């Protein structure tokens, strides 16, 4: 898998991060403070999660006064869609191997 896909998968493998990301996509741009109220974890923890999401390009931020606002970049989810097509290739290949095995089992 390409590294962009890995970043997205790893970023979203964590349920708290997934919840934070979805909160932003559902309700639009938000501050760390607002997100902390929803997340049920401490503000430093939320900030850490946001850093991971940022690295995966799933969110971007802008500063306004003393607050940092985060917004979602759903186009970064494209690798997750590719994941389905990668599995399709994987399984077709395995079907081929299964057929080869079935032929060998006759002998």
Partner 1 sequence: MTDAAQERTLVIEREMPHPPEKIWRALTEGQLLEQWLMKNDFQPIVGHRFTFRALPVQNWNGVIECEVLAVEPNSRLSYGWGTLGLGTVVTWTLTPTEGGTLLRMEQSGFGPDQTANYKGASYGWKNFIGNLERLLGGLA
Binding stretches for partner 1 (CB under 8 A):
1, 3, 6, 9-10, 12-16, 18-19, 22, 25-26, 74-75, 77-78, 80-81, 83-84, 87-88, 91-92, 94-95, 97-102, 105
CB of 43 to partner 1, least distance (A): 19
CB of 59 to partner 1, least distance (A): 13
Give 63 or 105: the residue with its C-beta nearer to partner 1: 105
Give 16 or 31: the residue with its C-beta nearer to partner 1: 16
Torsion of CA 18, 53, 86, 1, to 10 degrees: -140
The phi and psi torsions of 62 (rounded to 5 degrees) equal -145, 150
CB 10 within 8 A of CB 56: yes
Give 66 or 105: the residue with its C-beta nearer to partner 1: 105
CB of 27 to partner 1, least distance (A): 12
């Amino acid at each position: 898998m390409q590294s962009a896909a890995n970043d997205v998968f790893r970023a979203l493998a964590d349920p708290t991060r997934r919840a934070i990301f979805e909160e932003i996509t559902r309700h639009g741009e938000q501050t760390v403070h607002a997100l902390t109220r929803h997340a049920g974890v401490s503000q430093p923890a939320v900030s850490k999660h946001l850093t991971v999401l940022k690295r995966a390009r799933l969110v971007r931020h802008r500063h306004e006064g003393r607050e940092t606002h985060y917004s979602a970049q759903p186009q970064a989810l494209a690798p997750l869609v590719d994941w389905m097509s990668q599995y399709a290739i994987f399984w077709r290949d395995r079907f081929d191997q299964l057929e080869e095995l079935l032929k060998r089992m006759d002998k």
